[in-house]
Amino acid sequence: MPRPRAPSEASTTSETSQSHSLDPSQELTPLYDYLLKIILLGPTSTGKSSLLHRFVSSSFIATSQTIGVEFASKTLRIRSSSASSSSSVSSFPTTSPGYALSSVGSTTGGGGGWYGGGKTTRLKLQLWDTAGQERFRSVSRSYYRGAAGALLVYDVGRHESFAELETFLQDARNLGSPNLSVVLVGNKCDLSDPPPAGSSSATTSGADPFHLSDGVPLQGRRASVADARRRPREVTTETAARWAQMHGIPTVVETSALTGEGVEEAFERLARMILTKIELGEVDPDDKRYGVQYGDMPVGGVVRRERRRGSKCC
């Protein structure tokens, strides 16, 4: 069982950081209770990188294919109730885009909602976006090791991406935590669902609105971009739910990295699943195989890494 910990003080917003922009002098500033290793995996061109950027930066960027892996991090505050209420986390399934959820550190939801009452726990998510292309698969697999959780991503408009999921899931379960938590994510739902009433389906002449230079957000063009690439849905929510149930995945979320629908829910549900396992003693932060570590705690005004349970002084 994890040792009792006093809840850390937290601000009203989530902290985000990119690996390339970290200031070493401030690396330990945001305190957290647990560090969780999370991987995003799935076939190529399913929007994993866009999901990651939407979650971390709350914006959409048209990205190129990932070569190897990319890294980012975000700290969440989660209000947990008792471990006995964990069944609400694993109820099967959740498939609606933008499911009403008390979102931590965002403008959606209030202080209560899905997370309920109880103490506040701060979780720092260490997020690894892995390449889906076969030629980079060996590099990507090396980052599966010791992962506490995984977002298994497919494109709802491409059945072939859905058909490839089993290989990715098997690799993650073979190489990740002995108690790996998984959320199935059907991305690009905005491109396959019927357009909203009153929206235009016209496209810009001669140009694909997705072909923008890297790093350029598509502000103010969400509707036209979605309509320009609209296509029939090939994977229904019912099909995804049945597949998830057969493979022991308790939660399914449909998302749109373009509009942001369901994105925070997917990451937060995965984080909550892992936290529940910690509270139930099913995941041991002292065992590195589980992909969870204790965080930094303030002691006497100095931030230090909490010593692992059972460590001895030589």
Architecture of domain 15-205+218-304: 3-Layer(aba) Sandwich (3.40)
Residues 9, 12: Cα–Cα separation, whole Å: 10
Q: For 122-135, how does the pLDDT look when each residue is reduced to its tens digit (9 = 90+)?
A: 999 999 998 755 55
Query: Given the DSSP bridges, would you call strands 69-79 and 120-130 parallel, antiparallel or unpaired?
Result: antiparallel
Average of per-residue pLDDT across 66-87 = 68
Element housing 160 (H / E): helix 159-163
- Residue 121's pLDDT is what? 94
Across the chain, mean pLDDT equals: 71
Residues 150, 206: Cα–Cα separation, whole Å: 39
Nearest to 292 by CA among 168, 151, 146: 146
Point out which residues pair with 151 in neighbouring strands. Answer: 40, 183
Q: For 167-183, how does the pLDDT look when each residue is reduced to its tens digit (9 = 90+)?
A: 999 999 999 999 999 99
Residues 196, 149: Cα–Cα separation, whole Å: 34
- Residue 146's pLDDT is what? 92
pTM of the model: 0.67
Assess whether pLDDT exceeds 50 at residue 218.
Answer: no
Q: For 230-249, how does the pLDDT look when each residue is reduced to its tens digit (9 = 90+)?
A: 778 999 999 999 999 999 99
- Break the chain into its structural domains and give their ranges: 15-205+218-304
- Residue 142's pLDDT is what? 80
CB under 8 Å to 246, separation ≥6 — which residues?
none
